[in-house]
Structure 1
Amino acid sequence: MSFGTQTPRQKMINLMYIVLMALLALNVSSDVLRGFTLVDESLTRSTSNSAEQNQSLYKALAEYMEKNPEKVGPWYEKAMHVRRMSDSLYVFVGDLKAKINESSQEDLEAASHVMFAPSTGKGKELAKSISTYKSEILAQIEDPVQKKIITDNFTLNIPRLFEGTPVAAAVTLLTKLQSDIRYAEGEVLHTLTKDIDVRDVRVNQVNAYVIPSSQNIVRGGKLSAQIILAAVDTTQRPAVFIGEKQLPEEAHGWYETVCNSTGEFNLTGYLELNQGNGEILRRDFSQKYTVVEPSATVSATLMNVLYAGYDNPISISVPGVPNGQVQATIANGNGTLKRVGNGYVAHPTAIGKEAVIRVTATMDGRTQVMGDYSYRVRQLPDPSPFIEYKDANGSLKRYRGGSGLSKAVLMNTDGIVAAIDDGLLNIDFQVLGFETTFFDNMGNAVPEVSSSANFSSRQKDMFRRLSRGKRFYISRVRAKGPDGVERLLPTTLEVIVN
């Protein structure tokens, strides 16, 4: 890239970027990581300044839109489209920064995990979003110098930039991307303001634009697009042709068509406007859009299976569709699915039979199936028994055996509990009974049985006789879970008295 054709701001950002890439090739130290932080802070300040300048342009357009909507309308609509595109990509990049920043600054795996982890990695989505954004921005700028700057800024090798990159460097790269977004947004706004003098709303350039409601359409959905002639008196509406077919005048430039085939398509045509000198002005337009198969995102919050007789949290969403317009049911009758808050709870009943979750969405006034998703249904695993007590600070503790337990704590404990708390599940079970086994001085086993979760009086008497270093065993624990299944736990809890 030739620095001679760039603004001072862009020269500064690119120089910092070159330094950043050079540092990435080194074995980074804590001092270098602090250097990344300084670069990130500088880029953040530059981004903030660009955002303030853009906001002043939006404010001016809004004021003159209020005064003269007939004249300013097309430019204002275009500006709002640019704002939505820019804010969406900016926030997406910010979310990636936040996820990466959850790790330490020198971590070399965090960025790779966020970007390239199987099923959850965001690298491909980021690359696709950048490509789409760049295409739309470049379509609205004519200056070849600015086109080259923006093209260079958004031509990124995602795998090379984030593979094995420390957190501090990855965050700084994403901050530069946010800075480039605000810069590109500002360049489009300046281009729009050249088309209309916000002082007296004069025009000096004529262009044809297509503003689609979305460039990604689910098969069976509608493509909606506003086709306008910018920088022209909107009281004199142009004739709009899709291919060679003219839109009805009462359509006011709105074009809709049902999309029944998947793939990439082009909406092409032209506008014609009668000028004051009797000549006809023609402007061609072309807008790419993609039609995709219906899809939804369904994930079990706990893991990739559902447990019978248990309320399994489920997250369900459809890209581009508000949650209020998404519905889901268990289609094959194996249980129920209920909406709870922002998610769902699946309660399957039959073990060994799949639960099929069917997702539908309401779009354009009609309901469409977005997909069926099958989950295996298993029985809840066995819980573990333990003694639950409070320490000197009042914090709840769980004694799992194999180490010393204070005799005072033991005497003040009512009984035992059972639960699954393996880091994925946290499910309490009801203890129905258990057995304790003590050994007398001759080595003979002395069993005592409790018919509830509490220690019996005979078991408590045995505790009082235990001296330091003695041990006993809790076994044959019977427990019942939320699925209603009673089970005999195979685990034996060894208690060593301090």
Structure 2
Amino acid sequence: MAIKKRPVSPRQRMINLMYVVLMAMLALNVSNEVLNGFSIVEESLNRTTGNSAKENLAIYKTFEQQLKANPQKTREWYGKAQQVRQMSDSLYNFAASLKQAIVVEADGKDGDVTNIRNKEDQEPANYVMLSPTNGQGQKLYKAINSFRERMLTMVTDEKQRQIIASNLTTQVPKRAMGKNWAEYMFESMPAAAAVTLLSKLQSDVRYAEGEVLHTLVQNIDVKDVRVNLLDAFVIPNSKTIVRGDRFSARIVMAAVDTTQVPDIFIGGQKVNLQNGLYETVCGKTGDFTLKGYMEMVNGNGDRIRREFTQDYTVVEPSATVSADLMNMLYAGYANPISISVPGVPLNKIQASMTNGTLQSVGPGKYIARPAKIGQNAVITVTSTNTGHAQQMGQYTFRVRKLPDPTPYISMKDEHGNPARYKGGALSKGQLVAVEHLGAAIDDGILDIAFRVQSFETVFFDNMGNAVPMASDGAQFSARQKDTFRKLARNRRFYISRVTVTGPDGLTRTLTNPMEVIVK
């Protein structure tokens, strides 16, 4: 594990090591292209957030200038602007600290948020955000809710309120399998994806901050602000677009008289935009720039021109498919599968599978039942988020037979808790009380039960001759139990030739005997 909490036994260390290996194998199902895609999105978000921060800083400077020029008129709105700055910086810095904590968990103390080495590691986000002792997920949830509600009290335009509320929502889908917001967002999330989610939050914080500042500025004196802050801005609805989806942005002149409509030029050509909404279909992936200029006439009759530019990124369609319990699928067994697509609601995702059936059991949750051993199962994921079906990726899983289980005897430990005895020393009182033999794949993570059909016990008489005795199905026979009562201390016998049937319908005979030593 990433954190050493307290000394543990050698057995527990082995279980922990097996879990780490399993999670590492799980991560192999997330393609490098998808993980690298998160890095592209992260860079784009950081650029956009930086541009928003610069725009907001310009407004704060204008507040300072207005306060010096006319303190009586500006003081009230300047004070509110400083409250907005404090709240925005607080949530922004909290998200930044969580990103750094996740990267440190993934890569160590020298971890760099801009260059994550273990992008696929799912443990850091779980530990930082969902740890029972010091998880930050619930704290972040409350901070977002508090910030959103306070920002909405300062904005009067209904459309602006809807955008801010939507960007900073903490609601989870109705069929979220009982998960809270933090679990829904960060459970089993690769480190790269978790950092990108927090970067998106930082971008939304700066956007909400800018919207509120523009509202506060209008309350000072529109004419003064019009002179000092006359500029062109592009406000995109989304800054990262899946290829084939639509890029939407509002192009506006900041702090202008709303009765005047500026002329907008893109690529040297004048365009007529309804309500300033610009849209174009994104057919290629990569980084792009929306560039142009706006012209309008000021109060003196002079024609003013302002340039505008906005960078955005178009990424390939991508999806994440991970086996919840293992890195492969087992034939004839109900394999739990999680499927998600970044930026797409779970109810807009569909999936199908070859070599078997794929059954939906909840939002993003499926049960895969492969049919043939040795033949790969291919899961195809599609999205209907844009109104039409779009393939987001195909993922191949190997299909194997369930491994052999381990036989055990059900009993209770010294505290009265259920326990599974799998060999070694056993008191005679416990031995006499046993009723039947069980079998399961039980490695501390998986627990897949098998049905015992028969077995035999092998005792040794005083001459050293083996005396086999057959069971009564899964039950110990009366003869076997009678022999248990006659065994002296330190005598041993073996349980062997255990025949079991698994959930895949296959019957097999286990080769490794269980040794029992009477103490």
Q: Shorter chain as normaliser: what TM range?
A: 0.5 to 0.7
Matches within 5 A, 1:49-64: none
Question: Residues 103 and 112 of structure 2 are in contact (CA less than 8 Å); yes or no, is this contact kept in structure 1?
Answer: no
2:471 partner letter:
S
Question: What is the CA distance between 1:369 and its match in structure 2?
Answer: 0.4
2:350 is matched with 327
Question: Residues 458 and 494 of structure 2 are in contact (CA less than 8 Å); yes or no, is this contact kept in structure 1?
Answer: yes
Structure 2 distance, partners of 1:437, 1:110, is 59
Mark the runs of 5 or more structure 2 residues left unpaired by the alignment.
1-56, 61-76, 125-194
2:120 partner letter:
S
* Structure 1 pair 314–389 and aligned structure 2 pair: CA distance change class (3 A): same
Matches within 5 A, 1:223-262: 223-249=247-273, 251-262=274-285
Q: Which aligned runs of 4 or more in structure 1 are off by greater than 3 angstroms?
A: 85-93, 98-101, 107-115, 184-195, 197-202, 339-342
Question: Residues 319 and 381 of structure 2 are in contact (CA less than 8 Å); yes or no, is this contact kept in structure 1?
Answer: yes
Tell whether 2:334 aligns with 1:311.
yes
Q: Deviations over 1:356-406 (max 9, x none)?
A: 1001112222221001111111110000111121113121212111x2111
Structure 1 distance, partners of 2:261, 2:123, is 43
Tell whether 2:269 aligns with 1:265.
no
- Choose the corresponding residue for 2:448, options 408, 417, 427: 427
Structure 1 distance, partners of 2:234, 2:499, is 69
Structure 2 distance, partners of 1:309, 1:335, is 10
- Bigger shift: residues 463-472 or 361-370: 361-370
Structure 2 distance, partners of 1:235, 1:90, is 41
1:338 is matched with 360
Structure 1 distance, partners of 2:210, 2:102, is 29
Structure 2 distance, partners of 1:210, 1:116, is 34
* Structure 1 pair 484–121 and aligned structure 2 pair: CA distance change class (3 A): closer
Matches within 5 A, 1:365-404: 365-401=387-423, 403-404=424-425
Structure 1 distance, partners of 2:376, 2:207, is 53
- Choose the corresponding residue for 1:290, options 289, 313, 338: 313
Identity across the alignment (%): 47
- Choose the corresponding residue for 1:222, options 246, 251, 269: 246
Question: Residues 389 and 409 of structure 1 are in contact (CA less than 8 Å); yes or no, is this contact kept in structure 2?
Answer: yes
1:116 is matched with 117
Q: Deviations over 1:51-70 (max 9, x none)?
A: xxx9xx9xxxxxxxxxxxxx
Structure 2 distance, partners of 1:358, 1:96, is 34
* Structure 1 pair 89–334 and aligned structure 2 pair: CA distance change class (3 A): farther
Question: What is the CA distance between 1:198 and its match in structure 2?
Answer: 3.2
1:416 is matched with 437
Structure 2 distance, partners of 1:192, 1:315, is 41
Question: What is the CA distance between 1:244 and its match in structure 2?
Answer: 2.2
RMSD: 3.9
Tell whether 2:380 aligns with 1:358.
yes
Structure 2 distance, partners of 1:239, 1:100, is 50
Question: What is the CA distance between 1:335 and its match in structure 2?
Answer: 2.7
Q: Secondary structure at the match of 1:294?
A: coil
Question: What is the CA distance between 1:248 and its match in structure 2?
Answer: 2.1
Question: What is the CA distance between 1:428 and its match in structure 2?
Answer: 1.0
Question: Residues 355 and 371 of structure 2 are in contact (CA less than 8 Å); yes or no, is this contact kept in structure 1?
Answer: no
Question: What is the CA distance between 1:120 and its match in structure 2?
Answer: 2.7
Question: What is the CA distance between 1:243 and its match in structure 2?
Answer: 1.4
Please report the TM-score for the alignment, with normalisation by the length of structure 2.
Answer: 0.62
Structure 2 distance, partners of 1:495, 1:225, is 73
Question: What is the CA distance between 1:247 and its match in structure 2?
Answer: 2.7
Question: What is the CA distance between 1:303 and its match in structure 2?
Answer: 2.5
* Structure 1 pair 235–429 and aligned structure 2 pair: CA distance change class (3 A): farther
Matches within 5 A, 1:146-225: 185=206, 192=213, 196=217, 198-199=219-220, 203=225, 204-225=228-249
Structure 2 distance, partners of 1:411, 1:275, is 99
* Structure 1 pair 89–479 and aligned structure 2 pair: CA distance change class (3 A): farther
* Structure 1 pair 362–110 and aligned structure 2 pair: CA distance change class (3 A): farther
2:304 is matched with 281
1:348 is matched with 370
* Structure 1 pair 312–431 and aligned structure 2 pair: CA distance change class (3 A): same
- Choose the corresponding residue for 1:478, options 486, 489, 499: 499
2:374 partner letter:
G
Structure 1 distance, partners of 2:400, 2:364, is 25
Tell whether 2:477 aligns with 1:456.
yes
* Structure 1 pair 335–411 and aligned structure 2 pair: CA distance change class (3 A): same
Structure 2 distance, partners of 1:464, 1:472, is 13
* Structure 1 pair 347–496 and aligned structure 2 pair: CA distance change class (3 A): same
Mark the runs of 5 or more structure 1 residues left unpaired by the alignment.
1-53, 58-71, 124-173
Structure 1 distance, partners of 2:306, 2:123, is 39
Question: Residues 262 and 290 of structure 1 are in contact (CA less than 8 Å); yes or no, is this contact kept in structure 2?
Answer: yes
Q: Secondary structure at the match of 1:298?
A: strand
Question: Residues 317 and 391 of structure 2 are in contact (CA less than 8 Å); yes or no, is this contact kept in structure 1?
Answer: yes
Structure 2 distance, partners of 1:225, 1:458, is 82
Question: Residues 115 and 121 of structure 1 are in contact (CA less than 8 Å); yes or no, is this contact kept in structure 2?
Answer: no
* Structure 1 pair 93–234 and aligned structure 2 pair: CA distance change class (3 A): farther
Question: Residues 308 and 483 of structure 1 are in contact (CA less than 8 Å); yes or no, is this contact kept in structure 2?
Answer: yes
Q: Deviations over 1:304-363 (max 9, x none)?
A: 210111111112111111212111111x34333423354222111111111110011122
* Structure 1 pair 100–108 and aligned structure 2 pair: CA distance change class (3 A): closer
Question: What is the CA distance between 1:214 and its match in structure 2?
Answer: 2.2
Structure 1 distance, partners of 2:448, 2:295, is 69
Please report the TM-score for the alignment, with normalisation by the length of structure 1.
Answer: 0.64
